[in-house]
Structure 1
Amino acid sequence: MCLYSRDMLKIILSELNHNLIWMKWGWTAWMFLYFMISGTHPLITVHQPPVLTAALGEDLIMPCHLNLSNEEKMTARPVLYWVHTDNEKLWVPSERYKRRVDLLDSDPLSLNKSIRLKNVQLADNGKYLCKVSVTMAGGKSFRMKGNGTLVMVYGNMTFGLTSHNDSLLQCEVNVTQGPGLVLSIFHNECKPQTVDSASGDTDAALPYVTLSETIPLRGGGKYECQLHLNENLIVESIFNYTPPESGVAVFPEPWFLYVALLLVPTTILLGLVTVLLINRP
């Protein structure tokens, strides 16, 4: 029994030693492969924000930053490309973007490749890619790109009493199509029940949709209309309402009385002038 146990122990130890040898060689192979790959592909990344919102007619900064590992050195100025997903070029600007795009950093060796898009229009919505071509030490050249930035544009927000019913409060805003945009109305920081809501039906002929909310007036106070992108507030408008006091009659201005009071002294003056002219020798 003891001999059998001793033999089994030898077999187990032999197997463990064999497995350890394979694990050692396996880790060595993986490390060798890692250093081979890291030696042929530089650690360069292009960072862009996933989503940006812009007000119609305003300027928009579109960030793009290059990150290089400490071991990597650029030997020439990187070549920058900013493109829309419909293949329109922002940089170098195509005719559509001519005189509307500037680089934030004019240093050709800067890692900041952000741009400013001027006078944003509704048609400027969509996804934009930042691409760069870089030349590293040793003459290696690479083309890298970010994950893209989705630009959503919103117009002027209107918020006030409806033209057909002064007991209803309506908020509207035109926005370009994109996920996560929500329009809401709050009364004294509470969300009242809406009587009409439009989430923005798609019309292929228009570059935007209209978001709309309508609520009944429920007493005085502060009403807020807010446009959110997910949890982030994009723009808001405030409507302060003071209801008329109950039991107090409101009379129209007595304009006829005002006119009569003005005409009486004028008439008397004209009569006196007429009498003086008649009795003049």
Structure 2
Amino acid sequence: MQHIVTRWGWTQLIIFCFMITGTRCLVTVDQPPLLTAALGDNVSLPCFIHLSPDETMVILPVLYWEYYKNRTSKNFYKLWIPSEEYTGRVDLADKGRNTSDKSVVLRDVRWEDSGTYLCKLSITTRRGSFRSRGNKTLLNVYDTMAFNATAHNGSLLSCEVNVTYDPRLVLSISLNGYPLRPNDSSRVNAKEAHPFVTLSETVPLSIHGEYVCELHLNRDLITKSVLHHPPPAGVDGDGASERGEFPEPWLLYVSLLLVPIVVLLSLLTALLVCRCCPTSG
């Protein structure tokens, strides 16, 4: 299962500046505003520290990563150094002591991992000690996409996927590169029972061609599934190749056996003819 991380542009975020009028911030922390991850996969949560050329850290910075269930929540879990909920599931992306990469890798992504993540650093420079932070990263999670003919009606094609709730996540189905208008479109909110919603699109399955279902977050493609109707030759309805059984080449076997027999008979015939011919006196 293919999973795809959402693209984001790096922007330098000014967090803490020295409390002197006219001074400029010499340390910034960058992290992306938005990420997506497939359920069960690993995801990297980027965080980079940037120092101006005329600034130097006296000691190594102390890194903190925090997880908030949503952007408005004030309660958080420690992601790094991991609290009990994340023990064994989080590690540094770069373990070099002097690296500017303060990203962490979260393994085996679960539905409950969706939410916001904050990277913070305690920094000591020649000018003093202070704490600098990023601007929080929102992590969305999605499950495997189901894309096939509906069970109750073989002339309808359905695409369905479970995702964490975000109105910017949308499904679309196209045929040979052209978007189709769905017969039915739904966003089932199962949040009371499950930490996800189900996105669903249904279109007619009649014209031959390549049907593609795509999950987008804004304009970014997250994942997609392709279905050919009818399936290509040698491929069954599930996209698996059919294995045909070839007949045994008995004619070839017989021909190969006859060759030495014919040669032997020809030699015997020639011998008999030679013996029967009278010798001239």
TM-score normalized by the length of structure 1? 0.70
Provide, for residues 187-241 of structure 1, a one-character-per-residue CA deviation record: whole Å limited to 9, x for no partner.
Answer: 1111222111113435233210000000111311110000011111110001111
* Alignment correspondent of 2:41: 58
Does the alignment pair 1:130 with 2:119?
yes
* Alignment correspondent of 1:188: 176
Does the alignment pair 1:98 with 2:91?
no
Q: State the one-letter code of the partner of 2:39.
A: L
Provide, for residues 137-175 of structure 1, a one-character-per-residue CA deviation record: whole Å limited to 9, x for no partner.
Answer: 15x101011001000000000000111110110000000
* Alignment correspondent of 2:105: 116
Measured in 2, the distance between the counterparts of 1:160 and 1:178 equals 24
Structure scoring higher RCO (CA < 8 A, sep ≥ 6) equals 2
* Alignment correspondent of 1:84: 67
Q: 1:121 to 1:71 in 2, by over 3 A?
A: same
Instruction: Work out whether residues 42 and 72 of structure 1, in 8 Å CA contact, stay in contact via their aligned partners in 2.
Output: no
Q: Which has the larger radius of gyration?
A: 1
Does the alignment pair 1:68 with 2:89?
no
Measured in 2, the distance between the counterparts of 1:68 and 1:108 equals 16
Count of aligned residue pairs for this structure pair: 208
Alpha-carbon offset, residue 90 of structure 1: 0.8
Q: 1:104 to 1:219 in 2, by over 3 A?
A: same
Segments ≥4 residues shifted beyond 6 Å:
none
- Partner SS state of residue 227, structure 2: strand
Q: Write out aligned runs for 1:1-281 (5 A).
A: 36-37=20-21, 39=23, 42-85=25-68, 86-138=75-127, 140-201=128-189, 203-242=191-230
* Alignment correspondent of 2:11: none
Q: 1:196 to 1:179 in 2, by over 3 A?
A: closer
Q: State the one-letter code of the partner of 1:90.
A: L
Alpha-carbon offset, residue 36 of structure 1: 4.4
For structure 2, the 5+ residue unaligned runs are 1-17, 69-74, 232-281
Q: State the one-letter code of the partner of 1:124.
A: D
TM-score normalized by the length of structure 2? 0.70
Instruction: Work out whether residues 190 and 198 of structure 2, in 8 Å CA contact, stay in contact via their aligned partners in 1.
Output: no
Q: Does 149-158 or 66-75 show the bigger shift? A: 66-75
Alpha-carbon offset, residue 35 of structure 1: 11
For structure 1, the 5+ residue unaligned runs are 1-33, 244-281
Measured in 1, the distance between the counterparts of 2:58 and 2:203 equals 62
Alpha-carbon offset, residue 109 of structure 1: 2.7
Q: State the one-letter code of the partner of 2:169.
A: L
Q: State the one-letter code of the partner of 1:61.
A: S
Measured in 2, the distance between the counterparts of 1:179 and 1:45 equals 31
- Partner SS state of residue 21, structure 2: helix
Q: State the one-letter code of the partner of 1:220.
A: H
Measured in 1, the distance between the counterparts of 2:85 and 2:134 equals 22
Q: How large is the Cα RMSD of the aligned pairs?
A: 1.8
Instruction: Work out whether residues 103 and 114 of structure 1, in 8 Å CA contact, stay in contact via their aligned partners in 2.
Output: yes
Structure showing the higher helix proportion among its residues: 1
Instruction: Work out whether residues 127 and 149 of structure 1, in 8 Å CA contact, stay in contact via their aligned partners in 2.
Output: yes
Measured in 1, the distance between the counterparts of 2:229 and 2:97 equals 55
Provide, for residues 236-281 of structure 1, a one-character-per-residue CA deviation record: whole Å limited to 9, x for no partner.
Answer: 00111129xxxxxxxxxxxxxxxxxxxxxxxxxxxxxxxxxxxxxx
Measured in 1, the distance between the counterparts of 2:112 and 2:19 equals 47
Q: 1:76 to 1:192 in 2, by over 3 A?
A: same
Measured in 2, the distance between the counterparts of 1:100 and 1:35 equals 38
Instruction: Work out whether residues 163 and 197 of structure 2, in 8 Å CA contact, stay in contact via their aligned partners in 1.
Output: yes
Q: State the one-letter code of the partner of 1:109.
A: N
Measured in 1, the distance between the counterparts of 2:25 and 2:216 equals 39
Percent identical among aligned pairs is 48
Measured in 2, the distance between the counterparts of 1:191 and 1:128 equals 35
Measured in 1, the distance between the counterparts of 2:167 and 2:202 equals 22
